[in-house]
Amino acid sequence: MRVLVVTAVAAERDAVCAAAGPYTAERLPGGYALHRPVPPVDHSPGPAPVALDALAAGVGPAAAAAATATALTAAALTGEPCDLVVSAGIGGGFAPGAPLGSVVVADAIVAADLGAETPEGFTPVTELGFGTVAHHPDPALVRAVAAAAGALAGPVLTVSTVTGSAGRAAQLAARHPGALAEAMEGFGVAEAAAAHGVPVLEIRTVSNAVGPRDRAAWRIGPALTALTAVFGALPGALRATTSLGAAPAPQPAPSARRTP
Protein backbone atom coordinates (compact mmCIF):
# COMPACT_ATOMS: atom_id res chain seq x y z
CA MET A 1 0.00 0.00 0.00
CA ARG A 2 1.52 3.32 -1.05
CA VAL A 3 0.72 6.32 1.13
CA LEU A 4 1.68 9.91 0.27
CA VAL A 5 2.17 12.07 3.37
CA VAL A 6 2.15 15.81 2.60
CA THR A 7 3.54 18.24 5.17
CA ALA A 8 4.16 21.97 4.92
CA VAL A 9 7.76 22.18 6.08
CA ALA A 10 10.84 19.96 6.19
CA ALA A 11 10.76 19.64 10.00
CA GLU A 12 7.30 18.03 9.78
CA ARG A 13 8.37 15.76 6.91
CA ASP A 14 11.43 14.65 8.88
CA ALA A 15 9.25 13.92 11.92
CA VAL A 16 7.12 11.64 9.71
CA CYS A 17 10.18 9.94 8.21
CA ALA A 18 11.67 9.38 11.69
CA ALA A 19 8.90 6.84 12.27
CA ALA A 20 10.04 4.59 9.45
CA GLY A 21 13.55 5.51 8.17
CA PRO A 22 15.86 5.21 6.34
CA TYR A 23 14.64 7.36 3.46
CA THR A 24 16.01 8.48 0.12
CA ALA A 25 15.03 11.65 -1.76
CA GLU A 26 13.65 11.34 -5.29
CA ARG A 27 13.33 14.42 -7.54
CA LEU A 28 9.89 15.15 -8.97
CA PRO A 29 8.97 17.58 -11.76
CA GLY A 30 8.71 21.07 -10.34
CA GLY A 31 11.76 20.50 -8.15
CA TYR A 32 9.92 18.72 -5.33
CA ALA A 33 11.88 16.18 -3.26
CA LEU A 34 9.81 13.09 -2.51
CA HIS A 35 11.22 11.15 0.43
CA ARG A 36 10.73 7.40 -0.11
CA PRO A 37 11.56 4.60 2.31
CA VAL A 38 14.54 2.32 1.52
CA PRO A 39 14.93 -0.54 0.93
CA PRO A 40 11.89 -0.82 -1.37
CA VAL A 41 9.00 -2.57 0.30
CA ASP A 42 8.88 -6.29 -0.36
CA HIS A 43 5.97 -7.90 -2.15
CA SER A 44 5.91 -11.21 -0.30
CA PRO A 45 2.54 -12.81 0.46
CA GLY A 46 0.67 -11.65 3.56
CA PRO A 47 -0.84 -8.34 4.63
CA ALA A 48 0.10 -5.54 2.23
CA PRO A 49 3.16 -3.63 3.50
CA VAL A 50 2.62 0.10 4.00
CA ALA A 51 5.15 2.47 2.39
CA LEU A 52 4.99 6.05 3.68
CA ASP A 53 6.31 8.53 1.08
CA ALA A 54 6.74 12.04 2.48
CA LEU A 55 6.74 15.43 0.76
CA ALA A 56 7.30 18.94 2.18
CA ALA A 57 4.99 21.03 0.00
CA GLY A 58 5.23 24.54 1.45
CA VAL A 59 2.85 26.53 3.63
CA GLY A 60 -0.75 27.17 2.61
CA PRO A 61 -3.46 25.41 0.61
CA ALA A 62 -2.23 26.43 -2.85
CA ALA A 63 1.31 25.15 -2.31
CA ALA A 64 -0.13 21.98 -0.78
CA ALA A 65 -2.45 21.35 -3.73
CA ALA A 66 0.26 21.95 -6.34
CA ALA A 67 2.74 19.60 -4.69
CA THR A 68 0.16 16.89 -3.97
CA ALA A 69 -1.12 16.90 -7.54
CA THR A 70 2.45 16.68 -8.86
CA ALA A 71 3.31 13.72 -6.61
CA LEU A 72 0.06 11.87 -7.41
CA THR A 73 0.57 12.37 -11.14
CA ALA A 74 4.19 11.18 -10.95
CA ALA A 75 3.15 8.09 -8.96
CA ALA A 76 0.40 7.22 -11.43
CA LEU A 77 2.69 7.70 -14.45
CA THR A 78 5.31 5.35 -13.00
CA GLY A 79 2.68 2.65 -12.52
CA GLU A 80 2.77 2.82 -8.71
CA PRO A 81 -0.29 4.94 -7.86
CA CYS A 82 -0.93 6.09 -4.30
CA ASP A 83 -3.67 4.39 -2.29
CA LEU A 84 -4.05 7.17 0.28
CA VAL A 85 -2.94 10.78 0.78
CA VAL A 86 -2.41 12.19 4.29
CA SER A 87 -2.09 15.91 5.03
CA ALA A 88 -0.02 16.04 8.22
CA GLY A 89 1.69 18.51 10.49
CA ILE A 90 1.36 20.71 13.50
CA GLY A 91 -1.75 22.79 14.01
CA GLY A 92 -3.68 25.07 16.30
CA GLY A 93 -6.19 23.48 18.68
CA PHE A 94 -9.59 24.94 19.56
CA ALA A 95 -10.25 25.10 23.32
CA PRO A 96 -11.42 23.15 25.18
CA GLY A 97 -11.65 20.24 22.73
CA ALA A 98 -8.06 20.01 21.53
CA PRO A 99 -5.44 21.04 24.11
CA LEU A 100 -1.69 21.39 23.45
CA GLY A 101 -0.14 18.01 22.74
CA SER A 102 -3.35 16.38 21.55
CA VAL A 103 -3.65 14.68 18.17
CA VAL A 104 -6.56 15.31 15.80
CA VAL A 105 -7.70 13.19 12.86
CA ALA A 106 -10.05 15.18 10.62
CA ASP A 107 -13.53 13.78 10.07
CA ALA A 108 -14.09 16.85 7.87
CA ILE A 109 -11.46 18.93 6.08
CA VAL A 110 -13.03 22.36 5.80
CA ALA A 111 -12.01 25.44 3.80
CA ALA A 112 -12.99 27.94 6.46
CA ASP A 113 -12.31 31.16 4.58
CA LEU A 114 -13.26 30.22 1.02
CA GLY A 115 -16.18 32.50 0.32
CA ALA A 116 -17.34 36.08 0.20
CA GLU A 117 -17.93 38.78 2.76
CA THR A 118 -21.54 39.99 2.45
CA PRO A 119 -23.65 42.46 4.45
CA GLU A 120 -25.00 39.39 6.28
CA GLY A 121 -21.49 38.17 7.08
CA PHE A 122 -19.31 35.43 5.59
CA THR A 123 -20.88 33.32 2.84
CA PRO A 124 -19.15 30.10 1.73
CA VAL A 125 -18.60 29.62 -2.02
CA THR A 126 -21.06 26.73 -2.07
CA GLU A 127 -23.85 29.16 -1.12
CA LEU A 128 -22.74 31.38 -4.00
CA GLY A 129 -23.37 28.45 -6.31
CA PHE A 130 -19.96 26.96 -6.97
CA GLY A 131 -17.07 24.96 -5.61
CA THR A 132 -16.60 22.77 -2.56
CA VAL A 133 -15.81 23.78 0.99
CA ALA A 134 -15.46 20.43 2.72
CA HIS A 135 -14.09 16.95 2.15
CA HIS A 136 -15.20 14.05 4.34
CA PRO A 137 -12.65 11.27 4.79
CA ASP A 138 -13.94 7.70 5.07
CA PRO A 139 -15.47 7.47 8.60
CA ALA A 140 -14.23 3.91 9.25
CA LEU A 141 -10.70 4.92 8.27
CA VAL A 142 -10.87 8.00 10.51
CA ARG A 143 -12.04 5.84 13.44
CA ALA A 144 -9.33 3.23 12.89
CA VAL A 145 -6.51 5.77 12.61
CA ALA A 146 -7.76 7.87 15.55
CA ALA A 147 -7.96 4.78 17.76
CA ALA A 148 -4.45 3.64 16.79
CA ALA A 149 -2.98 7.12 17.31
CA GLY A 150 -4.85 7.92 20.53
CA ALA A 151 -6.34 10.86 18.68
CA LEU A 152 -9.51 12.89 18.71
CA ALA A 153 -11.68 12.93 15.61
CA GLY A 154 -13.41 16.10 14.46
CA PRO A 155 -13.42 18.86 11.87
CA VAL A 156 -10.10 20.49 10.98
CA LEU A 157 -10.30 23.93 9.38
CA THR A 158 -7.99 25.10 6.62
CA VAL A 159 -7.28 28.84 6.75
CA SER A 160 -5.02 31.13 4.75
CA THR A 161 -4.45 33.42 7.73
CA VAL A 162 -3.42 32.00 11.11
CA THR A 163 -5.98 33.05 13.72
CA GLY A 164 -4.49 35.66 16.05
CA SER A 165 -7.35 36.92 18.21
CA ALA A 166 -10.03 35.60 20.55
CA GLY A 167 -12.68 37.24 18.38
CA ARG A 168 -11.66 35.40 15.22
CA ALA A 169 -11.35 32.11 17.12
CA ALA A 170 -14.89 32.55 18.48
CA GLN A 171 -16.20 33.43 15.00
CA LEU A 172 -14.68 30.26 13.49
CA ALA A 173 -15.90 28.07 16.35
CA ALA A 174 -19.43 29.46 15.96
CA ARG A 175 -19.42 28.94 12.20
CA HIS A 176 -17.99 25.41 12.51
CA PRO A 177 -19.44 23.77 15.62
CA GLY A 178 -17.21 21.00 16.92
CA ALA A 179 -14.11 22.21 15.04
CA LEU A 180 -11.06 20.80 16.83
CA ALA A 181 -8.12 22.26 14.95
CA GLU A 182 -6.94 24.82 12.44
CA ALA A 183 -4.08 24.56 9.95
CA MET A 184 -3.23 25.84 6.48
CA GLU A 185 -2.89 22.91 4.05
CA GLY A 186 -5.51 20.19 4.51
CA PHE A 187 -8.09 21.47 2.05
CA GLY A 188 -5.47 21.94 -0.69
CA VAL A 189 -4.23 18.37 -0.22
CA ALA A 190 -7.82 17.08 -0.19
CA GLU A 191 -8.73 18.91 -3.40
CA ALA A 192 -5.78 17.34 -5.22
CA ALA A 193 -6.57 13.90 -3.79
CA ALA A 194 -10.21 14.21 -4.86
CA ALA A 195 -9.18 15.24 -8.39
CA HIS A 196 -7.13 12.01 -8.58
CA GLY A 197 -9.80 9.84 -6.95
CA VAL A 198 -7.53 8.96 -4.02
CA PRO A 199 -8.82 8.79 -0.39
CA VAL A 200 -7.55 11.46 1.97
CA LEU A 201 -6.89 11.97 5.69
CA GLU A 202 -5.66 14.95 7.69
CA ILE A 203 -3.74 14.48 10.93
CA ARG A 204 -2.66 17.38 13.16
CA THR A 205 -0.65 17.41 16.37
CA VAL A 206 -1.54 20.48 18.40
CA SER A 207 1.37 22.91 18.91
CA ASN A 208 -0.60 25.99 19.95
CA ALA A 209 -4.04 27.20 20.90
CA VAL A 210 -6.23 28.88 18.29
CA GLY A 211 -6.65 32.41 19.63
CA PRO A 212 -4.62 35.46 20.61
CA ARG A 213 -1.14 35.31 19.11
CA ASP A 214 1.38 34.08 21.70
CA ARG A 215 4.50 32.68 20.04
CA ALA A 216 6.12 31.98 23.43
CA ALA A 217 3.36 29.46 24.17
CA TRP A 218 3.86 27.41 20.99
CA ARG A 219 5.11 23.87 21.68
CA ILE A 220 6.50 22.88 18.32
CA GLY A 221 9.07 20.31 19.55
CA PRO A 222 6.54 18.13 21.42
CA ALA A 223 4.10 18.41 18.51
CA LEU A 224 6.75 17.11 16.10
CA THR A 225 7.57 14.27 18.50
CA ALA A 226 3.86 13.42 18.61
CA LEU A 227 3.81 13.39 14.81
CA THR A 228 6.53 10.72 14.77
CA ALA A 229 4.52 8.61 17.23
CA VAL A 230 1.38 8.92 15.10
CA PHE A 231 3.17 7.75 11.98
CA GLY A 232 4.72 4.88 13.93
CA ALA A 233 1.19 3.68 14.64
CA LEU A 234 -0.32 4.44 11.23
CA PRO A 235 0.92 1.42 9.20
CA GLY A 236 -0.63 -1.04 11.67
CA ALA A 237 -3.96 0.79 11.56
CA LEU A 238 -3.95 0.88 7.75
CA ARG A 239 -3.09 -2.81 7.47
CA ALA A 240 -5.96 -3.66 9.82
CA THR A 241 -8.63 -1.65 8.03
CA THR A 242 -10.63 -2.88 5.09
CA SER A 243 -11.51 0.70 4.06
CA LEU A 244 -8.60 0.87 1.63
CA GLY A 245 -9.27 -2.48 0.04
CA ALA A 246 -7.05 -4.49 2.41
CA ALA A 247 -7.89 -8.18 2.65
CA PRO A 248 -10.10 -8.98 5.65
CA ALA A 249 -8.32 -10.54 8.64
CA PRO A 250 -7.89 -14.31 8.28
CA GLN A 251 -10.66 -16.38 9.89
CA PRO A 252 -9.83 -19.29 12.24
CA ALA A 253 -9.64 -22.62 10.44
CA PRO A 254 -12.75 -24.79 10.86
CA SER A 255 -12.19 -27.33 13.64
CA ALA A 256 -13.53 -30.25 11.61
CA ARG A 257 -13.73 -30.83 7.89
CA ARG A 258 -16.84 -32.26 6.35
CA THR A 259 -16.20 -35.36 4.31
CA PRO A 260 -18.09 -35.67 1.04
Ligand X SMILES: O=C(O)c1cccc(C(=O)CC[C@H]2O[C@@H](n3cnc4c(=O)[nH]cnc43)[C@H](O)[C@@H]2O)c1
Q: From the list 20, 57, 169, 184, which residue makes contact with ligand X (rule: CB under 6 A)?
A: 184
3-state secondary structure at position 185? coil
User: Judged by CB under 6 A, does residue 68 bind ligand X?
Assistant: no
Give the list of residues 6+ apart from residue 224 with CB closer than 8 angstroms, or none. 11, 12, 15, 90, 205
Q: How far is the CB of 79 from ligand X (least distance, A)?
A: 32
Cβ 226 to ligand X, closest distance in Å?
A: 13
All residues at 6 or more sequence positions from 134 whose CB lies less than 8 Å from its CB, including other chains: 108, 109, 110, 111
Rule CB under 6 A: choose which of 14, 107, 113, 185 binds ligand X: 185
What is the pattern of x (binds ligand X, CB under 6 A) and - over residues 192-221?
A: ---------------xx-x--x-x------
Q: Which is nearer to ligand X, 83 or 107 (CB)?
A: 107
Does 87 bind ligand X (CB under 6 A)? Our answer is no
Contact 114, 78 (CB under 8 A): no
- Cite the beta strand spans of 138-235 per DSSP E: 152-158, 181-183, 200-209
Q: Does 89 bind ligand X (CB under 6 A)?
A: yes
Q: Are 102 and 23 in contact (CB under 8 A)?
A: no
Instruction: Kindly identify the residues of this chain, within the stretch 6-25, that bind ligand X according to CB under 6 A.
Output: 8
Q: Which is nearer to ligand X, 70 or 208 (CB)?
A: 208
Among 37, 61, 92, 137, binds ligand X (CB under 6 A): 92
The site that binds ligand X (CB under 6 A) totals a number of residues, namely: 19
Cα separation of 167 and 152, whole Å?
25
CB of 252 to ligand X, least distance (A): 45
DSSP, collapsed to helix, strand or coil, labels residue 171 as: helix
Q: Is 65 in the site for ligand X (CB under 6 A)?
A: no
Find the Cα–Cα–Cα–Cα dihedral 92, 95, 100, 101, rounded to 10°.
-90
109 contacts ligand X (rule: CB under 6 A): no
Judged on CB neighbours under 10 Å (0-12, 13-18, 19+), 216 is exposed
**Residues 121-160, interacting with ligand X (CB under 6 A):** 159
Closer to ligand X by CB, 108 or 144: give it. Answer: 108
Which residue is at the shortest CB distance from ligand X? Answer: 92
Q: Which residues does 245 contact at the CB level (< 8 Å), separation at least 6? A: 83
Considering the rule CB under 6 A, would residue 69 count as an interface residue with ligand X?
no
The string of DSSP letters for 222-244 reads HHHHHHHHHHHHHHHHHHH-STT
- Residues at the contact surface with ligand X, assessed by CB under 6 A: 8, 59, 89-92, 159, 162-164, 182-185, 207-208, 210, 213, 215
